[in-house]
Amino acid sequence: MAPPPPSIVYRAAHGVLEGAWVDAPWVAVDDEGSVVAAGHGSDDPTTPPATTSPAANPPAAAPPAAAPPATAPPATALVRDLGPVILLPGLVDAHSHAFQRAIRGATHRRGAGDPSSFWSWREAMYRCAEGLDPQGVYEITRRAYAEMLSVGITCVGEFHYLHHQPDGRPYDDPNELSWQVLRAAQDVGIRVVLLEVLYARGGHGRPPAPEQRRFCDADVGAYLERVDALASRGVELGLAPHSVRAVDRAGLESVARYGQAHGLPMHAHVSEQPRENAECRAEHGATPTEVLADAGFFERPRGFTAVHAIHTTADDQRRLSGQHACACPTTEADLGDGIVPAVELREAGVELCLGSDSNAVIDLVQEARLLEMHERLRGQARLRLCDGDGALGPTLLRAATEAGASALGRADRSGRLGVGRPFDAFTVRLDQPFFEGVAPRHRLDALMCAGTAQGVRHVFVGGVERHALGLG
């Protein structure tokens, strides 16, 4: 019987292992793409590394991080030095509408009488959505996902609501467009959690507008049949009622029951716009968060993600305790939505994660930085999202990795580098002008608080190095 292929040991100058910043990290990866050993601080990875203290503090809302134990990699391992780089866990994008990548740059000219708001932007997005056939959905999704990989994103939650033909009739396979999204992810090599969206109406008492018809299933039963069909094929899923504007109370309750029964992550747009809140109060006499709570979405800890949660009240934020809020700062700024109250949400016990949303910008390092910078502008103060030890970089990295993984139901598989986990990782070049003169202990803060993802050198998914700069 032939011996198993040798593990590969990857080495870097610095990195984050098990949530801790370390010097000279190494990870041993087996032929199935899993981390089988990890350590740091040794020039020779074939011998047990010295135990050293991490040079940065652990992330907030996580157990105290400790450097990996001083275990040696397999003696037969091959060694690959990745060079002067920082090794980090793969980024997790918790909220994407891939097809909206098609209108990048196309919504920045004012038209006659255009009020230039979220609602006028939405009309441009609808026109784009109407023009996409299955191959078009595949091509723009592939382009968006390739770009994600090139900037270190190894897993994405696709908030998918483009379901049917433009006139609303299902394709022969009602999940045709979902399969195109999944095909694009497979061809690029990125992990995807398909957040299947229920979209049922144009608002309280309003049927779907003509341009919304392809978003809508015949009823909740038809939507759940599509979900069942995808689940039966092993698709990694979450449930996503689009918003309280697009789904009535009975529909929300049906989705919550199904999600709780099957242990699926659940997401919804929540209080992105003041008008959404006003319409919800007119229909329900309550805020969107209150409606979702009453419908049963918050029964499971960390089972729900409120996307945006911008115009939430203090009571809403308390109700969201133990759940997630997904901030998408570049999109929220682009659409004039407002600023996510990240400080208040975090103080209420809400886990903050990040998304690229409209994909006009695809860079989770920028999203993390703007989460902090928007709070500085709002509060007219600095260092708003530090952890208990005063560190900011680890908090922002957590939002871009572990928190997103938790929101997608992958807390045990994504967002963290450690033994027993898939080797989903990326590296950032240190030999770029940005890092010149930056002390090693400040490099994570420099990246997360002042940098971008443009210095990404390597990207690994399941131990496979992915090259996403060319679309082939």
CATH code, 255: 3.20.20.140
What pLDDT is attached to residue 129? Answer: 81
Q: What is the pLDDT at residue 79? A: 94
Residue 109 has pLDDT above 90, yes or no: no
Is the confidence at residue 97, as pLDDT, over 70? yes
Residues 231-257 have pLDDT tens digits of 999 999 999 999 999 999 999 999 999
By mean pLDDT, which of 84-88, 211-215, 466-470 is the weakest?
466-470
385/431 same-domain check: no
pLDDT over 90 (residue 127): no
| pLDDT score, position 69 | 57
Percent of the chain with pLDDT over 70: 90
Q: How does pLDDT run across 44-92, given as a tens digit for each residue?
A: 555 444 333 333 333 333 444 666 655 566 778 899 999 999 999 999 9
CA 210 to CA 150: how far, in whole Å? Answer: 37
- Report if residue 472 sits inside a domain: no
Contact (CB, 8 A) for 267 and 255? no
Question: pTM for the whole thing?
Answer: 0.93
Residue type, 80: R
- What is the total residue count of the chain? 472
The rounded radius of gyration (Å) of the Cα atoms in the chain is: 22
Q: What is the CATH number of the domain that holds 32?
A: 2.30.40.10
Q: Is residue 377 in some structural domain?
A: yes
Question: Looking at the domain assignment, is residue 3 inside a domain?
Answer: no
Q: Is-contact 390 383, C-beta < 8 A?
A: yes
The kind and range of the H/E element at 176 are helix 176-188
Catalytic residue ranges: 308, 357
Q: Specify whether the backbone of 330 is left (phi greater than 0), alpha (psi in -120 to 50) or beta.
A: alpha
> With left for phi above 0 and alpha for psi between -120 and 50, is residue 24 left, alpha or beta?
left
CB contact set of 180 (below 8 Å; sequence gap of 6+): 134, 135, 137, 138, 141
Q: Are residues 109 and 69 in the same domain?
A: no
At 230, the pLDDT band (50, 70, 90 cuts) reads very high
Are 308 and 453 part of one and the same domain?
no
| The token pair that represents 154 in the structure block | 């190894």
DSSP bridge pairs for 459:
426
Predicted confidence at residue 113, as pLDDT, reads 58
Same domain, 387 and 425: no
- Which DSSP string corresponds to 75-110? TT-EEEE--SEEEEEPEEEEEE-GGGGGGTTSS-SP
Structure confidence at residue 471 (pLDDT): 37
Domain that holds residue 77: 8-89+417-465
Task: Give domain status of residue 1, yes or no.
Answer: no
Could you tell me if 203 and 55 lie in one domain?
no
Residues 281 and 401 both lie in one domain: yes
What is the average pLDDT score of the chain?
A: 91
Number of domains composing the chain: 2
153-160 vs 91-96, strand pairing mode? parallel
Per residue in 427-441, pLDDT (tens digit) is 999 999 999 999 999
